[in-house]
Amino acid sequence: MSLYAAYAGNLDARLMTRRAPHSPLRATGWLNGWRLTFGGEQLGWDGALATLVEEPGEQVFVALYDIAPMDEESLDRWEGVGLGIYRRLRVRVHTLEGEEPAWVYVLNAYEGGLPSARYLGEIADAAESAGAPHDYVMELRKRPC
């Protein structure tokens, strides 16, 4: 099994159960030195898409999933890897158990553009349902859209 660090909408455990039904949640943690942003407005149906960029001093809340081999291809298809929309990137996630190597999806597009209010609300709801701290969730809800 490989370890996947879910962020944005994939923080929603119900959503991940549908996208990767054989892959259990292991833990939650933080990507230190990264920030959540948006880009590829021309690629999405509903505004800019969530992605990550390196940013010293910032952090992104993530959920770690043990991705079963049978779910990897499905998750890649869902994220548009074959279409060149997202690509995988290796990162280190900080958890209560220590650092864990994992992979994330990052957008193959420049940063910029605004997400829709609906999409941003879904991301904030997903973070809240995954146990993100209240101030993190509130910061998501206050972002421009």
* Statement: residue 102 has pLDDT above 80: yes
Catalytic, 58? Answer no
* Statement: residue 46 has pLDDT above 90: no
Domains identified in the chain, total number: 1
**pLDDT value for 40:** 87
Geometric angle at alpha carbon 10, from 8 and 14, rounded to 5°: 135
Does the annotation list 86 as a binding residue? no
Residue 144 counted as domain residue: no
Instruction: Render pLDDT for 77-98 as a digit per residue (tens, 0 to 9).
Output: 999 999 999 999 999 999 999 9
**pLDDT value for 41:** 76
**Which one is catalytic: 55, 58, 73, 79?**
79
**pLDDT value for 47:** 87
DSSP character for 48? Answer: P
Q: Which domain holds residue 43?
A: 2-139
Instruction: Render pLDDT for 9-19 as a digit per residue (tens, 0 to 9).
Output: 999 999 999 99
Residue 119 counted as domain residue: yes
**pLDDT value for 44:** 65
Residue 145 counted as domain residue: no
Burial of 60 (C-beta count, 10 Å sphere; 0-12/13-18/19+) = buried
Choose among 114, 45, 111, 53: nearest CA to 80.
45
CATH number at residue 28: 3.10.490.10
Alpha carbon dihedral 99, 13, 124, 49, in 10-degree steps, equals: 80
